[in-house]
């Protein structure tokens, strides 16, 4: 997904428009995975419906906050705020679901946070934060954490086995419905939807759907959220950094390489931690 976003920049794609189209593509992908298009009655009776609506609204709201954070505070601040949010579902998992905790897991989680910071740096001076604009990364941090925590709660308490594709699809459907409102506003500002944005949305929608689907399936199969989210967040940062070097010849500073090594250590420690 991050590689696709990078290509948006290369091909001058309107990211907002592509994101909105991606939601309907992700929704359709969910219906295909489910095997059929559900009836309105089936959806309205679903125990998870309100969680899907809530998450869909959060998806598009947090995306816009992410964009604002990137514009006002910089990409590094947005990356750190979004990925550091892993502490919220980790704490929730340990507190609400009595998930295992031990020195190895705690150390791994702390190293995960360090690795996120180090790999997100783009200058030797570190991350510069304007206190007047602190509200944007704070909202991004809280919102991203709430999304992950809500996914875990919905999966555990309300989504039956076999309905993961349908639940994921409806999350994206809600995000798309709100996105239509944004597209209408964009049209009034003479910023019309283009075929390039539609194609970009198609490319993004399928991996975006499966990124949520496989998290839910992993949680459903019994892996603890205090393991899933750190590995997912740190693994994303690690893999994205490596692809940036290989595909886009990005130049990393020494702190980035240290962050990559720390990320690998963190993933190993969390994955093999025992209570």
DSSP 103-115: HHHHHHHHHHHHH
pLDDT at 129 over 70: no
Whole-prediction pTM value?
Answer: 0.87
Mean pLDDT of 198-221: 93
- Contact yes or no for 80/117 (Cβ under 8 A): yes
- Contact yes or no for 147/59 (Cβ under 8 A): yes
pLDDT of residue 239: 84
Site of tokens 């240290």: 258
pLDDT of residue 123: 73
Within-domain flag for 65: yes
pLDDT of residue 86: 92
Site of tokens 């598009």: 60
Mean pLDDT of 27-40: 92
Within-domain flag for 183: yes
* Residue, of 105 and 126, whose pLDDT is higher: 105
Within-domain flag for 48: no
Within-domain flag for 241: yes
Q: What is the mean pLDDT of the chain?
A: 89
Q: In sequence order, what are the residues at sequence separation of 6 or more whose Cβ sits closer than 8 angstroms to the Cβ of residue 213?
A: 30, 33, 164, 165, 168
Q: What is the C-alpha to C-alpha distance for residues 67 and 75, in angstroms, rounded to an integer?
A: 9
Q: What is the C-alpha to C-alpha distance for residues 19 and 60, in angstroms, rounded to an integer?
A: 9
Mean pLDDT of 100-114: 92
Within-domain flag for 38: no
pLDDT of residue 209: 95
**What is the 8-class DSSP label of residue 36?**
S
Within-domain flag for 43: no
Mean pLDDT of 17-31: 94
pLDDT of residue 80: 84
What is the signed CA dihedral for 212, 215, 220, 224, rounded to 10 degrees?
A: -150
- Contact yes or no for 269/134 (Cβ under 8 A): no
Within-domain flag for 39: no
Mean pLDDT of 107-117: 93
Q: How confident is the model over 217-262, as pLDDT tens digits?
A: 999 988 899 999 999 999 888 888 888 888 878 788 898 899 999 9
Q: How confident is the model over 133-177, as pLDDT tens digits?
A: 789 899 999 999 999 999 999 999 999 999 999 999 999 999 999
DSSP one-letter string for 171-214: HHHHHHHHHHHHHHHHHHTT----HHHHHHHHHHHHHHHHHHHH
Between helix 195-220 and helix 15-34 the angle, nearest 10°, is 50
pLDDT at 91 over 90: yes
- The tally of domains found in the chain comes to 1
Domain that residue 115 falls in: 2-33+53-271
Within-domain flag for 222: yes
Mean pLDDT of 58-65: 89
Q: In sequence order, what are the residues at sequence separation of 6 or more whose Cβ sits closer than 8 angstroms to the Cβ of residue 44?
A: none
* Residue 83 structure tokens: 């990925």
Mean pLDDT of 30-48: 91
């Amino acid at each position: 997904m991050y590689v696709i976003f990078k290509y948006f920049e290369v091909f001058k794609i309107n990211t907002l428009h592509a994101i909105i189209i991606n939601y309907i593509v992700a929704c359709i992908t969910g219906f295909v995975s489910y095997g059929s298009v559900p009836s309105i009655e089936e959806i309205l009776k679903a125990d998870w419906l309100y969680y899907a609506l809530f998450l869909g609204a959060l998806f598009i709201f947090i995306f816009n906050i992410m964009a604002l954070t990137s514009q006002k505070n910089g990409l590094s601040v947005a990356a750190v705020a979004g990925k550091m949010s892993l502490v919220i579902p980790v704490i929730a998992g340990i507190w609400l679901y009595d998930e295992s905790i031990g020195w190895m897991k705690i150390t791994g989680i702390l190293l995960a946070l360090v690795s996120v910071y180090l790999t997100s740096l783009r200058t030797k001076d570190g991350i510069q934060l304007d206190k007047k604009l602190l509200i944007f990364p704070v909202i991004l941090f809280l919102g991203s954490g709430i999304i992950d925590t809500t996914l875990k709660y919905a999966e555990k308490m309300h989504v039956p086995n076999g309905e993961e594709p349908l639940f994921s699809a409806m999350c994206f459907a809600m995000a798309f419905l709100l996105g239509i409102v944004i597209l209408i506003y964009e049209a009034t500002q003479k910023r019309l939807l283009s075929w390039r944005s539609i194609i970009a949305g198609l490319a993004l929608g399928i991996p975006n759907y499966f990124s949520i689907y496989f998290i839910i399936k992993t949680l459903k199969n019994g892996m603890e959220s205090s393991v899933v989210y750190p590995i997912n967040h740190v693994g994303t940062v690690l893999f994205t950094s490596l692809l940036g070097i290989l595909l886009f010849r990005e130049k990393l500073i020494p702190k980035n390489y240290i962050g990559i090594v720390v990320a690998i250590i963190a993933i190993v420690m969390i994955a093999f931690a025992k209570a």
